[in-house]
Structure 1
């Protein structure tokens, strides 16, 4: 009898792991598509001269406010919207973010942007693997990293007025650590969503869960990339 129960427990564990793997694949696929869209829009906007026009007009501020509003709305209301709407908003955010991020092509060389992207991918991949395989509960780390994120935002606003180079580099270094930590935390949280049975809750729940997970990882990657670009980006001047 004990052997029967043990076999059943092993089968249940294996089923949870398989479901988690499938869900993680969905999340990473959506994240990759979002990053691809952002990169393509940013590159084309810069190549066709749209970036220069946007950066010199009030439209740039409008775009930033629009994308901030969009990401907060999606995060807060996703449970009450249809999966197709959530997916559309995610891609809308990725598109707008591509327009605003296209300004990096005015500041940094293309080769340094590509190099930094590769460095970011390696760091993001390493921390994703850590988040997947570690047995340590990263909930405490996630809370600590979130407090660090709030501190970065406040310090960045203050430094607009101080224009301190020392504070700028301190924010950049702390920012790298924060988004590296958040990557591991978010991947572990998404893995747990898969293990807790989200794949059995129907297409709508799975799709919305994959979108919100993809958004979290997308934001981790983009922000880590921007922080690293401060260190590895070569100026066009």
Structure 2
């Protein structure tokens, strides 16, 4: 009887400390997502570098929104076909182009290079940390979906208000909120893939890419403000 109790206790302890076991389908989605994410991040970085080197102007908020949501619509429509991957590169390349003038602005500021590198390092650290936790935790984080969706919508509208009404304090607050929301999105999306909730690696890639992009630009805004002389 005592041996049976000990065995049951050891089994319970193992189940509490075990990490999430990824099945074959989820593993394929995760592998393809990370592979496509790495390629799109590289392509976006090339586009950003080219836009910065050529000193191309920023397209403006209206063209940026139209281009982003138009390409996102096409990615979603063709997510199960080869065109979905092509439109994913078009979307991430376009986002890289819009990032180029922003990088130029910050690099021309005092300590600009340090600010950009800190933002890159912070983005990488958050992504690795949230992804690792999302992969290892045994908890189902699906409950975060509604909260994150509402939070992103409210923050997005507040950000538009800060741009149109020229309210720097609101813009900084929105950036701080976006850092938290995008960290949560990375955690949620990774956990969603592991648990089989997201079965399309194209959509998973776009979700993670947009989260990383917004996380980086938000950190850049906050660090740029903090580093001003």
Shorter-chain TM-score range? 0.7 to 0.9
In 2, Cα distance between equivalents of 1:106 and 1:145: 31
Aligned equivalent of 2:177: 174
Give the number of equivalent residue pairs. Answer: 204
SS state of the match for residue 140, structure 2?
Answer: coil
In 1, Cα distance between equivalents of 2:154 and 2:66: 20
Aligned equivalent of 1:30: 36
Q: Does 1:40 align with 2:38?
A: no
Aligned equivalent of 2:138: 135
SS state of the match for residue 195, structure 2?
Answer: helix
Deviations 1:180-215 (A, max 9, x none): 111111111111228x9x6xxxxxxxxxx1111111
Structure 2 length as normaliser, TM-score?
A: 0.79
SS state of the match for residue 179, structure 2?
Answer: helix
- Conserved 8 A contact 1:108-1:236: no
Shift of 1:149: 0.3
- Conserved 8 A contact 1:159-1:167: yes
The change in CA–CA distance for 1:152 and 1:47 in structure 2 (over 3 A counts) is: same
Bigger proportion of residues as helix: 1
- Conserved 8 A contact 1:142-1:181: no
- Conserved 8 A contact 1:131-1:187: yes
* Unmatched tracts of structure 1, length 5 or more: 1-13, 199-208
Structure 1 length as normaliser, TM-score?
A: 0.77
Aligned match for 1:233, one of 205, 210, 224: 224
Alignment of 1:48-67 (within 5 A): 48-49=54-55, 51=56, 54-55=57-58, 61-67=62-68
Aligned equivalent of 2:213: 222
Aligned equivalent of 1:87: 85
Structure with greater contact order relative to length (CA < 8 Å, sep ≥ 6)? 1
In 2, Cα distance between equivalents of 1:157 and 1:15: 41
Aligned equivalent of 1:102: 100
* Unmatched tracts of structure 2, length 5 or more: 1-19, 108-112
In 1, Cα distance between equivalents of 2:104 and 2:24: 45
In 1, Cα distance between equivalents of 2:97 and 2:65: 9
- Conserved 8 A contact 1:38-1:95: yes
Shift of 1:230: 1.2
- Conserved 8 A contact 2:22-2:195: no
Aligned equivalent of 1:4: none
Aligned equivalent of 1:211: 202
